[in-house]
Amino acid sequence: MAKATLAIIGARLDGQAGVVFDIFSLGTEFEVVKFFDRTLELKGSILKGIPVQSDIFQITDKDFDSIDFFHIAIGNNKARADIFNFLKTKGAKFANCIHPSAVISKTALMGEGVFIGANAVVQNDVTIGNVCILNSSSVIEHNNKIGDAVQVAPNATTGGRVVLEDLVFLGISSIILPDLHIGTGAFIGAGAIITKDVPENNVMIGNAAVSHKKNIYVENESITSREK
């Protein structure tokens, strides 16, 4: 059976595009036939034997004739959302890019153009929106709800029943405790431990750890009540 043709939007092989290309190269379903990138130095170049075309917003109907699916390999959440919305108006289809080592529950639901990296874990009854990035070794625990164009960096972890609204960014090794709500566009810095809801567009940096003399699950009534 012939492979479906795929265009990768973003051509930084030292960035997300390189990871995406590597994963698609492992599979038998898609053949990468084109990169799109607005960087002037890359326009017209050949990467991995594949041509680089200019800005995706200049795509033509002729381009669509030779491309079955797209995948947006750009780290910027807003840029991914804008490109996705633009191409959807033209009827584009988006491929999910999932590393074979990722562990994904059969009850998890995901949208279009999702990236799930090596050794990532997505547990039961998770919902993932469109064009999200779940990077290497990230852990999304059970019953999470993840909006569109969210990025979860390597080793970041969410507890059960967490809600991540659209455009949220979780930094490397950040931790979101169970039952929390992270508002639209919030930025969680690397290594941060989030113990309370985060309003939209807030930036959270630093570690919230404090000294305790007894078990935090006994000490904190709100947590204890959730465990009953």
Which domain-ending residue is among 40, 72, 95?
Answer: 95
Report the alpha-carbon distance of residue 226 to residue 228 in Å, rounded. 6
Q: Does any domain span residue 169?
A: yes
Q: Out of 95, 126, 160, pick the residue that ends a domain.
A: 95
For the domain that residue 35 is a member of, what is the CATH number?
3.40.50.720
Mean pLDDT on 192-204: 96
Pair (102, 161) in one structural domain = yes
The arithmetic mean of pLDDT across residues 153-180, rounded, is: 98
Choosing from 71, 142, 181, 212, the catalytic residue is 142
Is 142 a residue of the active site? yes
Q: Which of 39, 73, 95 corresponds to the end of one domain?
A: 95
User: From edge to edge, which strands make up the β-sheet containing 50-53?
Assistant: 46-47, 50-53, 30-36, 4-9, 69-72
> In the predicted model, is pLDDT for residue 217 greater than 80?
no
Q: Which domain holds residue 109?
A: 96-214
Residue 219 lies in a domain: no
Report the mean per-residue pLDDT for the chain. 92
Residue 225 falls inside a structural domain: no
For the chain, percent of residues with pLDDT exceeding 70:
91
| Cα separation, 56 vs 76, whole angstroms | 15
Domain count along the chain: 2
Q: Is 224 within a domain?
A: no
Q: What is the pLDDT of residues 100-128, one digit of tens each?
A: 999 999 999 999 999 999 999 999 999 99
Higher-pLDDT residue of 156, 210: 156
Rg (alpha carbons) of the chain, rounded to whole number = 19
Query: Same structural domain for residues 190 and 106?
Result: yes
Spatial neighbors of 88 by CB under 8 A, at least 6 apart, are none
